[in-house]
Amino acid sequence: MILDRVLDGRQVVVCAGAGGVGKTTVSAALGSQLAARGGRVLVLTIDPARRLAGALGLPEHGDEAHEVDLPQSGCAPDGSLHAAMLDAQLTFDRLVLEEAPSERAAERILANPIYRQVSSAVAGAHEYMAMERLYELHASGRYDVIVLDTPPSRNALDFLEAPGRLTRFVEGRALRFLLRPGMRAGRLGFSMIERIAGVAFLRDLSELAAGFEGMYDGFARRAADVSALLASGRTTFLLVTVPQAEPLAEADFFWRALRERELPFGGMIVNKVHPSYVEGAPSARTRLRAKAKRALRDAGVPDPAAARAAENLVHYQALADRDRENIDALERRIGSGPIVEVPLLDHDVHDLEGVAAVGRHLFGQAGG
Ligand SMILES: Nc1ncnc2c1ncn2[C@@H]1O[C@H](COP(=O)(O)OP(=O)(O)OP(=O)(O)O)[C@@H](O)[C@H]1O
Ligand SMILES: [Mg+2]
């Protein structure tokens, strides 16, 4: 219900959050629900676990979009779910082909031995390529909604600042610094670097810097376009987290970063919440222990197994109580921003059925 409102009319849904919290799972689940509502939906995903990738019909190589074979009941007649894997290197190569002043110039860059290393090693390059691919696919007009899974970032800001960071890099300041005339004349003269790095390396580096300079305008324009798309009402950011202190602190941090940059925050998805069996205080847990022990004994489970099983249930309830406290505290901090909870399921989510189950929880249709 809440998510229906948040997602209404959005063309881009970004799922961001700390490592391992469930961004990829939630992205797939959102995609399947949106397709069930009749949209042409693309989930742009990053490194899904092998079995989930298989369930989505993703090939091991390449980043082309494929239609996901949803079960009969899983899709509205005019809806469709597509999935594509994000491959930063392929995206970067296409970008070079498109933005280099000539085909020859593009080929020279792509064949440059340093290019491949640089394109994956530059800080923020991966995040930038995620946005670049988003931009390409959004511009294609083939989809009503694109759900963007995001790479596990050490720092959420890498993602938000990637376009600017990469254009600055391509502008060539870092490369030019290495090649600046002063280096040749200075005490740590060119010959010194030459000796350490090799003549061929320096030639490759300087060619790459020159090649990138020719693409600066194109990079800057695309970065500005994608930044504008992300900041507009066509986009919403969902922050995925789990109800434990550290990932919650990261979610808080990201939430504040979105606010500072005036980017559209849609809501928090708190995933893997321990289901609760009783409400509230420690006394409730004591009663739960006694009840469980009695029920187990009545069912013929002998002591000490019954006592131990009851104790485990109480430990589990303590985790559920702690999750509840953490979520309540989150609610107090972010005020009216919607919070949607998804319970910790009994199994990993690696097939379409699991994805659909998470989707039902996201949209409040799970019942029970
Ligand atoms: N609600 C859930 N209940 C049980 N298991 C879950 C749930 N959500 C996700 N998982 C499992 O947790 C693991 C991590 O999920 P996922 O890969 O979606 O996280 P991620 O945030 O994309 O991770 P990464 O940061 O590494 O990309 C997976 O094995 C997934 O099946
Ligand atoms: Mg992931």
Q: Which of 349, 351, 353, 358 to mutate to test the pocket of ligand 1 (most atoms within 8 A of CB)?
A: 349
What's the CA-to-centroid distance between 146 and ligand 2, angstroms?
16
Residues of the chain with pLDDT under 70: 72-75, 120-124, 153-157, 170-198, 367-368
What's the CA-to-centroid distance between 176 and ligand 1, angstroms?
42
Q: How far apart are the C-alpha atoms of 326 and 334, rounded to whole Å?
A: 12
pLDDT of residue 129: 83
Asked if omega into 343 is within 30° of 0 (cis), the reply is no
pLDDT of residue 209: 79
Q: How far apart are the C-alpha atoms of 248 and 259, rounded to whole Å?
A: 16
Helical spans, DSSP H, in the chain: 2-7, 23-36, 50-55, 88-99, 103-111, 113-121, 125-140, 156-171, 173-179, 181-185, 190-197, 199-213, 216-231, 245-260, 282-298, 305-334, 352-362
Mean pLDDT of the chain: 86
Ligand 1 interacting residues, C-beta cut-off 6 A: 19-25, 47, 49, 152, 271-272, 342, 344-345, 348-350, 358
Q: Kindly report the pTM of this predicted structure.
A: 0.88
pLDDT of residue 182: 46
pLDDT of residue 218: 83
What's the CA-to-centroid distance between 272 and ligand 1, angstroms?
9
Ligand nearest to the CA of 153: 1
How is residue 184 written in tokens?
């040749």
What's the CA-to-centroid distance between 23 and ligand 2, angstroms?
5
Half-sphere exposure of 197 (CA within 13 A, CB side): 17
pLDDT in tens, 139-165: 999 999 999 998 776 566 677 777 777
pLDDT of residue 154: 58
Q: Which residue, by CA, sits nearest to atom 15 of ligand 1?
A: 22
Q: Tell the burial category of 319 from Cβ atoms under 10 Å away from its Cβ (0-12, 13-18, 19+).
A: middle
